[in-house]
Structure 1
Amino acid sequence: MIAVSVVRPHDLRVVEADMPPVESGEVLVRVLRAGICGSDMHIFHGSNPFARYPRVIGHEFAGEIVEVGASVTGFKAGDRVVVDPVVACGHCYPCRIGRSNVCAHLEVMGVHRDGGFRNFIAVPAGNAVKLKAETPIGIGALAEPFSIAANILERTGCGPDDTVLLYGAGTVGVTVMQVAKMNGARVIVADPDRARLERALGFGADKVLVSGVDDIPARVAPETDGLGPTLVIDCAGVPALLEEACRVASPAGRVGIMGFSPAPCNISQQEIVKKELTLYGSRLNRRLIPKVVEWLEGGKLKPEAMITQTFAAKDAAAAFELFEKEPGKTIKIQLDFAQ
């Protein structure tokens, strides 16, 4: 049995791992496919404030149940599942009001506790979501990244009356765009990388703008009867974008923030109040993976083209190198633990 561990910042290794014990309320999952996320790279670089080392990373993974704990019902060996990596206490104020993704005692698999980049992992049964037997396991492993998009768009609201401006055409931007389009919105995507913008058009973007070349505020001002976009989301995690987002948003508009930088940004109170803007933070997902699985299995999204490369798990170092050095060639790299 192997695991992909960040032993210390900048030191990623494929190591031998022990079979985990299975507690009463857990299921043992044989991991088949797992996706690499930008937050995995942050742990690798030592820039994630929540990670402790050594850490088996990986929070986007799917596989097959091989054992169920004594008190578990509803699952059996052989069931294919995707795992929600968000582990919450269920008792604190956020949990009581349905916001378990910001639980006061939050633990995320692959960050606060060891994750799914290994052959076998024991997880709470409540975090396992069944997949249909015919659902490709790689598609199942995309449920978690799409749940991030589902969360921000449930927080902000998004429907046919919206014109959405997305900053960032990376993996997060592409998933948010697809869910916004599924909800009937018009979507404009801004990014400095022209190749990424071409890719966004292929996924259904209505309009693309080149950041740093196009005058974004001027180009989006004519939207919504000259009022600007009704919903603006920073999918790039750049603090400086928040000021522009508030400036270009329509009166009564909403602004979604997905980045995790501690850096301050300058925004005008006046800009927020005069247009009565609403600002939303969004972190992880609040039990939305079952809904996302329905979307994926119902053909409402375009997941196949998201998977740009697949590496054998033993070649994780090469996969991370590609992710870091040639981001324009990748959307989602997955590790195959079945090989």
Structure 2
Amino acid sequence: MKAAVLHAREDLRVERVPVPTAGPGELVLRVDAALTCGTDLKVFRRGYHAKMLTLNRLFGHELAGTVVEVGEGVTAFALGDRVVPLNSAPCDACFFCRQGQQNLCDDLLFNNGAYAEFIGIPARIVEKNTLKLPAVMPFEHAALTEPLACVMRGLEESQAKAGQTVIVLGAGPIGLLFIHAASLEGLHVIAVVKRSDQVGTAKRFGAQQVLRIGDVADPIAAARALTPEGRGADIVIEAVATPEAWQWAVQMARKGGLINLFGGPPAGTTVQFDTNLLHYSDLTLKASFHHTPSTARAAFDLLCSGRFQCQDFLTGTATLDEVPEVFTRMLVRPAEGIVPEIKTAIFPGRPANELHPAFAAAEKVSA
């Protein structure tokens, strides 16, 4: 089969690799849709990810597809089922899992290989983090489950409640997911963006107010001025991943407010905070990482509800052969005024002459 393989920094190649087979408890899926992701772009740029991916590995982690092989002992899924597998599953036995922090599991099992014709799903992910799609749900919509699950974890950890005011710094894919999910949860959303083209996009996804930093002399004061009585936001979500944005976020919160430092700057990055401000304003700093099985299901339920603007997040399409070109293009932000892609949907397509052996055998029997 064909699959995208990461060889080094900015060296991604579509190659022929062995077709996966299902061991006990496992599934093999035909990949019907996969999505580009900022984390994958970070891995592409750096050539590795300390937890998720090293060199010479299959690439991509947001996908949905059709079951084409069922391993021994699997009873919850059958050939032909339409499913979305998450990209990880916890052990549910270690200290952190027992504390309800499954995203911090000591043995968190990751799975990659979304940019391929087929993908194998490990038994633990089959058991804990694979969900069946409604018949009418497009595969590319279901593939939004993983990034939205991380956002739902962020909102959960921020103790977000309807009626609160939240400032979201950043209007990239994750920032827009936060804006949209928070607005659907009934929060008043203020978006702080950099580019003029992001103003309309943020409003389309539910931001009631949008501040473009280039339009004001003091973004912190301007953002606070948009909050009730100018006191600052109940919650500030940082989704830019720069030290400056982390520092701004702390100064945009009200007394007693919560700041979720969601964006992850490069390793070794440091920031400085005003200790007086933190102490006397009684601020809470959080940093949310990844997702849990419960937030995966919360995300999936929201996507299935019909309330989520799935299609608006999918602003481009590509074939499997075009994946390296897509990521090379993603390295360069388009010029001001040109609306950038949010997510590109990759459609590998059913191989014309290469059915998975187990699925081909089943089709032959049914015929």
TM over 0.5: yes
Match of 1:220 among 211, 217, 223: 223
Q: TM-score of the superposition, structure 2-length normalised? A: 0.87
Counterpart CA distance in 2 for 1:295 and 1:166 is 20
5+ residue gaps, structure 1, are: none
5+ residue gaps, structure 2, are: 351-367
Matched-pair identity in %: 29
Counterpart CA distance in 2 for 1:78 and 1:312 is 22
Match of 2:186 among 171, 177, 184: 184
Counterpart in 2 of 1:171?
Answer: 173
Which structure has the bigger radius of gyration? 2
Does the aligned pair in 1 maintain the 2:31–2:118 contact within 8 Å?
A: yes
User: Which letter does structure 2 place at the counterpart of 1:87?
Assistant: A
Counterpart CA distance in 1 for 2:224 and 2:253 is 9
Counterpart CA distance in 1 for 2:292 and 2:263 is 17
Q: Secondary structure at the match of 2:191?
A: strand
Does the aligned pair in 1 maintain the 2:30–2:117 contact within 8 Å?
A: yes
Q: Secondary structure at the match of 2:307?
A: coil
User: Which letter does structure 2 place at the counterpart of 1:298?
Assistant: S
Counterpart CA distance in 2 for 1:45 and 1:242 is 22
Counterpart in 2 of 1:119?
Answer: 117
Q: TM-score of the superposition, structure 1-length normalised? A: 0.94
Counterpart CA distance in 1 for 2:249 and 2:84 is 34
Counterpart in 1 of 2:359?
Answer: none
User: Could you report, residue by residue, the CA deviation over 1:236-258 in whole angstroms, capped at 9, with x for unpaired residues?
Assistant: 11122222211220111110111
Counterpart CA distance in 1 for 2:244 and 2:108 is 28
Deviation at 1:234, TM superposition (A): 0.5
Counterpart in 2 of 1:315?
Answer: 322
More divergent stretch after superposition (300-309 vs 211-220): 211-220
Counterpart CA distance in 2 for 1:316 and 1:10 is 12
Does the aligned pair in 1 maintain the 2:220–2:252 contact within 8 Å?
A: yes
Q: CA RMSD in A?
A: 1.6
Q: Secondary structure at the match of 2:76?
A: coil
Counterpart CA distance in 2 for 1:273 and 1:68 is 55
User: Could you report, residue by residue, the CA deviation over 1:266-288 in whole angstroms, capped at 9, with x for unpaired residues?
Assistant: 01222112111111111111112
Counterpart CA distance in 1 for 2:119 and 2:25 is 13
Counterpart CA distance in 2 for 1:292 and 1:244 is 28
Counterpart CA distance in 1 for 2:138 and 2:56 is 31
Aligned counterparts, 1:54-69, within 5 A:
54-69=56-71
Counterpart in 1 of 2:203?
Answer: 201
Counterpart CA distance in 1 for 2:22 and 2:235 is 44
The question of 1:231 aligning with 2:235 is answered: yes
Aligned residues: 335
Does the aligned pair in 2 maintain the 1:57–1:109 contact within 8 Å?
A: no
Q: Secondary structure at the match of 2:331?
A: helix
Does the aligned pair in 2 maintain the 1:4–1:316 contact within 8 Å?
A: yes
Counterpart CA distance in 2 for 1:191 and 1:254 is 20
User: Which letter does structure 2 place at the counterpart of 1:336?
Assistant: F
The question of 1:264 aligning with 2:270 is answered: yes
Does the aligned pair in 2 maintain the 1:25–1:69 contact within 8 Å?
A: yes
User: Which letter does structure 2 place at the counterpart of 1:45?
Assistant: R
The question of 1:241 aligning with 2:245 is answered: yes
Deviation at 1:302, TM superposition (A): 0.8
Q: Secondary structure at the match of 1:179?
A: helix
